[in-house]
Structure 1
Amino acid sequence: MMIVNSTMADMDTLFAFYRAGAVYMKDMGEVRPWQEFERTAVAKEIEEGRQWKVLDNGETVAVFLTTYNDPFVWQEKDQDPAVYIHRIATHPEHRGKGYVQGIVDWGREHARENGKKFLRLDTGARNTRLVNYYKRCGFNLLGEVYPDSPALPAHYRGGIIALMEIAI
């Protein structure tokens, strides 16, 4: 398994993974699955070096995004030095093969290399199956928030979000 930055050539692949992730969320009963993301925003994330892909034998098996702040969801905790992981999407044929744990392990090292003290992510609080999965990956559940900023993607607004963290 290797994690490398996504490029503009990966744009269609990223969106295919996001669509498959949204379908999976619906199938799992998620009340607020991902909506279609804006291509211009994803292009900017690629240009900033924050979009990543997980390769296994040269094949893209998962994608995710990193950021170093998330004030609308993490509120006052956003002042802490942290790496935030967003939009993990694993190809349907590769779910259950440990790629998310690989992303978490990579995220810990990425946080260390960048002088951060925390690795964080958030997910729908009512998706107890996913919350428990992230706990098994080493995250601690810190609590829940109810973000409602128009700056957030639609799937955040009006929902209950579980905040999860690993101290580095």
Structure 2
Amino acid sequence: MIRKANFNDIELIEDTYNEHFAHELECGAFTVFKKGVYPTKKDAEKAVNDGTLYVYEDNHNIAGSIIIDRVQPREYAEIAWEKALKSDEVMVIHLLIVRPSMTGKGVASSLVKYAMEVARNNSCKALRLDTGGQNIPAISLYKKLGFQIVATASMKVGNAIEHSGHLFLEKVL
């Protein structure tokens, strides 16, 4: 079940982040996330406070989470998007994360499809996101769901982690 996160979920969301960090340390990293830098408990708290954090709950456990809002990072202004749209016509996916022990069960796909639904329900004409060029699983998922890569550029991930070779993707709705 996907639902809006609340403050009672924060510890489980933070646990999801920590499981992610431990998994990448042990198995190799697809993301540029850094423990203690981004994502953090504070990021989750802010998103819950803003009403933009959603969780995928499975048997009273948080299997994954996603932030969905209309806030386009400043780097997005430099991107030649497929469609020139006003900011209120665009929804953005931030920080999609799935607990490593829950990968391969459709959690990420369900969360992205949910974001598409939120965007459509809010009369948006496009859904945008960014991810690292090294994040092969995420890129594969986004392409499978109809997103197009529109640019490669540098980005400050989470306003904290400099990253070149970052991909910017868009799905016109």
TM-score of the superposed pair, with normalisation by structure 2: 0.81
SS in 2 for 1:115: coil
Contact residue 17 and residue 99 of structure 2 kept, 8 A: no
User: Match of 2:35, as an amino acid?
Assistant: Q
1:138-153 equivalent positions in 2, closer than 5 A: 138-148=146-156, 152-153=159-160
- Superposed, which structure 2 residues align to 1:53-132 within 5 Å? 53-76=55-78, 79-80=86-87, 81-132=89-140
| Length, aligned pairs only | 164
1:160 is paired with a residue whose SS is: strand
Q: What is the CA-CA distance between 1:103 and the residue it aligns to?
A: 1.2
2:6 aligns with 7
Task: Report the Cα offset of residue 67 of structure 1.
Answer: 2.1
Deviation at 1:5, TM superposition (A): 1.1
C-alpha distance after superposition, 1:112-164 (max 9, x if no partner)? 11111111221111333431232113211112111259x7122xx13321111
Q: State percent identity of aligned pairs.
A: 21
Instruction: Tell me: CA distance 1:30–1:61, structure 2 relative to 1, closer, same or farther (3 Å).
Output: closer
Distance in 1, Cα, partners of 2:156 & 2:46: 23
1:39-69 Cα distance to aligned partner (Å, 9 max, x none): 4443221111111111234432211112212
> Which range moved further: 105-114 or 74-83?
74-83
2:165 is matched with which residue: 153, 160, 166? Answer: 160
What TM-score, normalized by structure 1, do the two folds share? 0.83
| Counterpart contact for 2:16–2:62, Cα < 8 Å | no
Q: Which moved more, 1:67-76 or 1:48-57?
A: 67-76
Query: Is the 2:53–2:67 contact (alpha carbons within 8 Å) kept by the matching residues of 1?
Result: yes
> 1:35, 1:79 → 2: CA distance?
35
Structure 1 pair 166–69 and aligned structure 2 pair: CA distance change class (3 A): same
